[in-house]
Amino acid sequence: MSKIVIIGSISMDLVMETNRLAEAGETVFGSQFSMVPGGKGANQAVAIGRLSSKNDHVEMLGAVGNDQFASGLLENLSQNQVVSENVGTIPYSTGVAQITLYDNDNRIIYCPGANAKVDARNFDKEWDIIADADLVVLQNEISHQTNLAIAQFCHQKGIRVLYNPAPSRDTDIEMLEFVDVITPNEHEVKELFPHRDLEEIIKSYPNKLLVTLGTKGSIFFDGNDIQKIPAIKAKVVDTTGAGDTFNGAFGYAISKGLSFKEAVSFGTLASHLSVQGFGAQGGMPYLKEMKESAYYEKTWAIK
C-alpha cells in the first residue's frame, strides 16, 4: 500500500486553440475553446490516482475558491481515486490557467487565486495527514514558504519528498537540502544552478537531481554513471501536463519500490501516453493502459 500526499494547485484550465498567435494590440480567431481540470498539483495527483489500486491512499491538499469551478474540480479528483475531503474552500476565486495551444505546444498564464492562500501556518489536521504519508509531492504553484515548511517537516520526520520546481522561482535552491528528489526541466535547472554545466551539476546530486529534457527524455546520475533515458516518440495531440504525468508516475513507481532508473522509465512511458490525449489530464494513463503498452517492462512489479 502506498500513501501519497500531493500538496499544490487545483485550477481550471481555459484552453484556446489557435492557428496564429496575436501580436500586441491584435485580435485573432481561435479555432476551439475548452475548460478542463488542471493545476500542476491536481494534475500530479490525478496521474498518481489513475495508476493507483484500491489499497493505495492518494490524497490532495490545497484550496479552491467558492465559485462555479470549485465543485467540478473536487469531483474530478474523487473520480480519479484522489481523496479531496481535506481540500479547503475559501471565499476567493479558484485558480485559473489560460492556455493557448499553438503549433503543437502550449503557452500558459497562471492566476493562482485560492492556490495562493494555501498557507502552512494555518495547517492543523493537514500535518497529521502529511506525517502519515510515505511520499509527499510538491510543485511551485503554491507559495514557497508553505512548500519550505512542508519540506522541512518531512525532512525531520524522514518522509520522502518529490519536488517539481515548476514554474521556477529564485527561492527554489532553499528547498534542495530538504527534499529527496528534485525534477526541474532544462530551463528550470539553469535557473537553479546558473552558469553550471548540466552533467557536472547532476553528478553532485546522485539519484536526487532528475532533469527532464522534453523530447530528449531525462537525465540523472546514479552514483556511478550518468543515465540518459530517452523519450518515446508519440503522435502528439497536446503536451500540456506531460511533465505532471511524468512526475506523478515517477513518484508512484518509487513508492511501489521500483529502482530510480525503473521509475524514470515508468514516468517516461506515462508521459508518452499522456501527450496523445487532449488537456492536462485527458491522456493520463490508467495502470491497465500502461500494462497494455509494448513499452511496459514485465519486471516492473506493480499490481
Single-letter residue type at 171: T
Nearer to ligand RIB, 11 or 183 (CB): 11
Non-local CB neighbours of 168 within 8 Å, separated by 6+ positions: 140, 184, 187, 188, 191, 192
Closest separation in Å from C-beta 180 to ligand RIB: 21
Closest separation in Å from C-beta 77 to ligand RIB: 13
- Quick one: which of 239, 280, 283, 253 has its CA closest to 42? 280
Cα separation, 20 vs 30, in Å, equals 8
Cα separation, 58 vs 77, in Å, equals 10
Establish whether 244 is a catalytic residue: yes
- Please give the grid coordinates belonging to residue 219: 537525465
The span of 111-119, 209-217, 236-244, 286-294 binding ligand RIB (CB under 6 A) equals 236-244
- Quick one: which of 224, 302, 207 has its CA closest to 264? 207
Geometric angle at alpha carbon 206, from 202 and 212, rounded to 5°: 50
Q: What are phi and psi of 100, to 5 degrees?
A: -105, 125
Nearer to ligand RIB, 11 or 84 (CB): 11
The span of 36-44, 143-151, 173-181, 186-194 binding ligand RIB (CB under 6 A) equals 36-44
Closest separation in Å from C-beta 97 to ligand RIB: 3
The span of 37-45, 53-61, 86-94, 213-221 binding ligand RIB (CB under 6 A) equals 37-45
Show the site string, 253-292: x = touches ligand RIB by CB under 6 A, - = not.
---------------------------x------------
Closest separation in Å from C-beta 173 to ligand RIB: 22
**Strands annotated E in 104-195:** 105-111, 135-139, 160-164, 181-182
Give me the active site residues, please: 244
The site for ligand RIB (CB under 6 A) is made up of: 11, 13, 38-40, 43, 97, 108, 110, 141, 240-241, 243-244, 280
